[in-house]
A and B are shown apart, each in its own frame.
Chain A
């Protein structure tokens, strides 16, 4: 099958959607399909052979943070050329409502179009204003995929219609087989300590590090040898500013880590904490932590509760409540039996997020929409006369 995938965000900037597309494309290529990914990228960034650049993305403030998006004549022309040269059986657009390549492709293409909705942001004013324009473009999508039941609900409420739920994929095996690193394990300190892991942007308050920092003094008061390992970029000084100086040595910043080190970190820690305060529609990091066998403690966001099977595969605490976080963390660190139970349940639960299953489901969607439909083509907007004929009939 010839598959065209559209990535709305710059390829060289790490992000959940980009990683998802990379893994999906590589999964299909391994199965023998022909895949081409259209993504914004600077012309001099090195790209994998299956990625086609749609030109430079322009940084624009959008949806609460600065996003790098593509629009304008040049991008539209590149989209058309890509569609024309690709002759795809199906195209898969990610995040079709973001004002970038996804929407441009919706405009320019016709034929079987599959779209995945990643975010579940509340209806924004821009979306309401653009509703009429969006609707005409979104109507062309033959199949919609939402990454979680929560994302589906927002989609149904805001845009109407329906979607199938297919979660984001994770290479479970990669995380499950990673070697733990002794310096990230608690070792002899496990009696009155333990290691807590956090992965995410330090300077992005939505990722929730400030909540964890607020909870830390209480955790350290009860278990003084606890260590917090933080992986992610951002200003480390600012992150520990709220912490009393004598406790700051208990926090270790690892900076940006490679995929291998991320897996090894998750394999090593006694507890993985996800204190995110909002804006999450899925929570791939929780699945990665469970794949690596780390017991998970997460804020009770709708999306997180769903990934954790409503508390069965990992524990939840009241969002933004540092006290509740500290209590739950202490309870888990002091209860090896409960942690082992969470490890076992987590490892069984994550099988449904493995690429072998997620990829097969996405392929089922492709095959369902290509059954009884012509291949993708550029929408030439011709046949005006035929349309007038139709109007008169």
Chain B
């Protein structure tokens, strides 16, 4: 009788430890998503500000400047629900403006242009990186949260179900083929 009781107690402790460990995993995943989301935000803001700077610098022709300025401005001001659309439109605007490699040459030749071109290149390269890292974390968290043990014991608490960021972040070809000096 006591033996059975002890065994039940041991089993309960083991299950408890396992659940606690799983909750810890989940907790870690959620903080990873938060960090990745913050990093993605930072990269998006950086990209929009560099694009805006280039647009207002007067290096590009007026039409290209307006297109780029509009898109960058919209991306910075967008509400959370409109953000992915606005950022995708900025990607498209950047691709359209820098479709001709000559535009990049023009930016480089302007005073301080080398710096701006480098920042823009870096920004368009890092946005897809940050988004991939974010979505990777989201996928891992969702996989764990769908598991029975997490749902039955409500290990996720009140944390919202994580959502992937879906947007067009294809960089302009002229900016990805970075030439080594």
Q: Which A residues form the contact surface with B (CB < 8 A)?
A: 110, 112, 135-136, 139-140, 142-144, 160-164, 351-352, 354, 356-357, 360-361, 364-365, 367-369, 371-373, 381, 383-384, 387-388, 390-391, 393
Contact = CB atoms under 8 A, between A and B. Distances in A.
A163 B29 CA distance: 17
Contact of A369 (B25, B133, B178): B133
Contacts of A352: 177
Interface stretch (B71-79, B103-111, B123-131): B123-131
Given A142-B133, A163-B132, A390 B27 contact: yes
Given A161-B136, A357-B180, A364-B122, A369 B20 contact: no
Contacts of A384: 20
A391 B133 contact: no
Nearest to B141: A139
B144 to A, nearest CB: 8
Nearest to A373: B35
A160 B180 contact: no
Contacts of B28: 110, 139-140
Contact of A139 (B42, B140, B155): B140
Nearest to A172: B180
A160 B157 contact: no
Contacts of B179: 351
Contacts of A367: 126
Contact of B132 (A162, A354, A360): A162
B27 A387 contact: yes
A390 to B, nearest CB: 5
Contact of B157 (A143, A351, A390): A390
Given A139-B25, A142-B32, A390-B27, A161 B126 contact: no
B19 A391 contact: yes
Contacts of A135: 140
B23 A387 contact: yes
Given A162-B139, A390-B23, A390-B27, 20 more contacts: A112-B35, A135-B140, A139-B144, A142-B35, A142-B133, A143-B129, A143-B133, A160-B139, A161-B139, A163-B132, A357-B178, A361-B125, A367-B126, A368-B39, A372-B35, A372-B38, A390-B157, A391-B19, A391-B23, A393-B157
Nearest to A393: B157
24 contacts: A142-B36, A142-B133, A144-B133, A161-B140, A162-B139, A163-B132, A164-B129, A164-B132, A164-B133, A356-B180, A364-B122, A368-B126, A368-B129, A368-B133, A371-B38, A371-B42, A371-B130, A372-B42, A390-B23, A390-B157, A391-B19, A391-B153, A393-B157, A393-B158
B134 to A, nearest CB: 10
A387 B39 contact: no
B49 interface: no
B39 A162 contact: no
A387 B180 contact: no
What's the interface size class on B, roughly? 35 or more
A391 B39 contact: no
Nearest to A365: B129
Interface of B: 19-20, 23-25, 27-29, 32, 34-36, 38-39, 42-43, 122, 125-126, 128-130, 132-133, 135-137, 139-140, 143-144, 153, 155, 157-158, 177-180
Contacts of B19: 391
Nearest to B131: A162
A372 B45 CA distance: 14
Of A163, A354, A364, most B-chain CB atoms within 10 Å: A364
A142 B27 contact: no
A196 B32 CA distance: 51
Contacts of A142: 32, 35-36, 133, 137
Contacts of B24: 381, 383, 387
A238 to B, nearest CB: 43
A381 B25 CA distance: 11
Cβ-closest 9 pairs across A and B? A372-B38, A373-B35, A371-B39, A161-B136, A143-B133, A393-B157, A391-B23, A387-B20, A356-B180
Contact of B20 (A161, A351, A357, A388): A388
Contacts of A164: 128-129, 132-133
Nearest to A140: B28
A269 B74 CA distance: 57
Contacts of A369: 35-36, 39, 133
Contacts of A368: 39, 43, 126, 129-130, 133
Contact of A391 (B43, B129, B130, B155): B155
Given A356-B180, A393-B158, A162 B35 contact: no
A162 B20 contact: no
A80 B111 CA distance: 50
B25 A373 contact: no
A364 B155 CA distance: 35
B25 A364 contact: no
Given A161-B139, A357-B180, A373 B132 contact: no
A160 to B, nearest CB: 6
A351 B180 contact: yes
